[in-house]
Each structure stands twice: as C-alpha cells, then as structure tokens.
Amino acid sequence: MKQSINIQDQFLNQLRKDNSLCTVFLLNGFQIRGHVKGFDNFTVLFECEGKQQLVYKHAISTFAPQRNVQINFEESN
C-alpha cells in the first residue's frame, strides 16, 4: 500500500529541527516571528522573544521561513 507524503508535517518538522526563524501570518492579520518548537494535528508551538505561544492551525494563513526549507518528497519505505 502506498503511503501519502504529508508535506505539512515534513515542513513543520524541518523548521523545528533546523531551528529556523519563521514569520507566521494569522488570519486576523497578526504576525508571529519566532521558532517552531513543536506541533500536533491542531496546534503549533512557537517561541517568540523568549516566550512560548501555542497557536491553533486553523488560525494560521501562511508560514514564511527566513530561508528555504528542504523537504524530501521521496517516499520512505
């Protein structure tokens, strides 16, 4: 059975592993600039200016990392 590639999880996990600075645009226009510390199916945990912010994914419009994120599109067996 073929496994589907979850781009969202790979993207967020790579941001977390690289500790990349990222600007997140929320649907209400607010911006969060910080580092992804963790995520699950519904939320993303950011560290911004030494403080943690837990944001619901449904409130997020766009992730804009400071540098490109490398994602492996090959399926892992």
Q: Is 75 within a domain?
A: no
Instruction: Tally Cβ neighbours within 10 Å of residue 71.
Output: 12
Instruction: Chunk the chain into consecutive blocks of 10 residues (it has 77) and report each block's average pLDDT, rounded to whole numbers.
Output: 78 96 97 97 97 98 95 67
- Residue 42 is part of a domain; what is its CATH number? 2.30.30.100
How many Cα neighbours within 13 Å face the side chain of 5? 10
Q: What's at 59, amino acid-wise?
A: A
| Predicted local confidence at residue 24, as pLDDT | 98
Structural domain span for residue 37: 7-65
pLDDT tens-place string over residues 23-45: 999 999 999 999 999 999 999 99
Q: How many domains does the chain have?
A: 1
C-alpha to C-alpha distance for 31 and 18, rounded to whole angstroms: 21
pTM of the model: 0.84
Q: Which residue has the tokens 């209400």?
A: 28
